[in-house]
Amino acid sequence: MKKFLSILVFFTACSSTPDIPDETASRTYRSTFAGGEEETKVEKSIEPAAEVKEENTLPHAIGPVALVDEKPVEAATYNLEMSRLQKTGTPLPMIQKLKYKLIMKLVDQHLIERAIAQSEIKVSETKVDSKLEEVRKEFAAMRGEATLESMTKQLGISTNDLRRSIQQSIALESILAKDGLVFEEKSVREFYDENPENFARPDQIRASHILLKVDKSASENDWKATEQKIKKLLVTALKKKTDFSKLAAANSEDALSAKKGGELGGFFPKGVMVPEFEEAAFNLKVGEISKPVRTQYGWHIIKLEEKRAAGPLPFDEVKTNLRAQLKANGMQQYLGAYVQKLRAGSVIKMLKDNVK
C-alpha cells in the first residue's frame, strides 16, 4: 500500500511531492521564494560509511528524524507511522526502501499543519461529520465488507485522529482554493466521454450459494460423505416452495454469505471466483440452481440471481465516484506544488543517522 493510511484523508496527497534523495546521511535545505522563482542552496554533510541493513527488521528512529525551522520531527512520530505501515501488510523489504522517504512525508505533514494553523480557518463539527460519512461510504464501496472503523482500528488510528485528519483536509482544501486551485465540474463528463475504455464493464453475474466445507487434509471418503450431505440439500433446494435464501442461512458454512441468505456480495465478472465455481455459475440461467460443485473450499450448490451483459457503465452510475477521484487527483497535483512553496520558505534538515 503506497499511501500511509495513518494520514488517511489528505496527508497521503503529499506522495505527489518528489522523493527525497538518499545519497547523504543528513542534508540541509535553505531556500528562498521570490518573484515566482525558486532558488535552492544545499549544504551536504560528509557521507558516513555505508551501514548494512537487515531487510527483515522494521526501521526505527532513536532521535528526531528532521528539523523544520529548528523544530524537531520526533522519533515517536516516525516510529508510530512505521508501525502503522507495517500493519497494512507492506513487506519489510519494501518498508526498508521507504524508511527515508517517510521522513520527508512527515516534514511535509509538519509544513501543512503549520500552514493550516497560520490560516486560522475554522472547520465546524457539522462539516467534519458530513465529510466523515462521505469517506465512510466511499471506503465501503471500495473495500466491501471491511469498514473504515475496522481498518483504522487495525492501524491504531483513533476516532479523534481520524476526525482531526478530516478537519485538516477540509481546511487544506480552503487554503488551496484561495491559492488558486479550481475544479471544473464539466471535466467529469469530459473525462467520461474521452476515456470510454475506463468505463467498460464485462459480463457479470450475481449469485448465491450454500457451502459445506471440507478440510484440505480430508480423505476422499470425507469428501464423498460431504457430497452426500450437499446432494440432500440440493433436493430440498429444488423443491418449488423452498426459499433458497432461508436454506442457505440455515445450512451454509460460509458464515459471511449465510447472514445474507447465501448472497455473495453484488455482481462479479470472470476471474474473481475459483475456476470450478466460476464455470458452473456463469453457465446457469437466471434462477437456476447448480448441481454440487467441488472446489478447494468444499462442496457448493449455486443459484444464479441475476446477469448483467457487458457494456459501458452509465455516466449516472459513475459520476459521483469519478468526480471525487478527479477532484482528489487535481488536489494532489496542486498540493505537490504548494508543498514545494512551503519547503522553499523553510530550513529543513534531514537527520537520517537517527533512523536505524
Q: Can you read off the three cell numbers belonging to residue 108?
A: 511535509
What CATH class does 5-185+321-354 carry? mainly alpha
Fold equal for 5-185+321-354 and 203-309? no
Per-residue pLDDT of the chain (356 residues; tens, 9 = 90+): 333 333 343 333 333 333 333 333 333 333 222 233 333 333 333 344 444 455 678 999 999 999 999 999 999 999 999 998 898 888 999 999 999 999 999 999 999 999 999 998 999 999 999 988 888 877 776 655 567 777 788 777 888 888 988 999 899 989 999 999 999 999 999 999 999 999 999 999 999 999 999 998 999 999 999 999 999 999 999 998 999 999 999 999 999 999 999 999 889 999 989 999 999 999 999 999 999 999 999 999 999 999 999 999 999 989 988 998 898 888 888 999 999 999 999 999 999 999 99
* Cα diameter, the chain: 82
Residues 209, 249: Cα–Cα separation, whole Å: 10
Residues 328, 188: Cα–Cα separation, whole Å: 12
Residues 82, 355: Cα–Cα separation, whole Å: 11
What does the domain layout of the chain look like in residue ranges? Answer: 5-185+321-354, 203-309
- Reference 355, options 82, 59, 50; nearest CA is 59
Topology classification of domain 203-309: Chitinase A; domain 3 (3.10.50)
Q: Which residues of 86-99 are buried (b: 16+ CB within 10 A; e: fewer)?
A: eebeeeeeebbebb
**How much is the pTM?**
0.57
Number of H helices, E strands in the chain: 11, 11
Q: What angle do CA 119, 125, 129 make, to 5 degrees?
A: 120
- Reference 304, options 321, 282, 326; nearest CA is 282
- Reference 121, options 51, 194, 172; nearest CA is 172
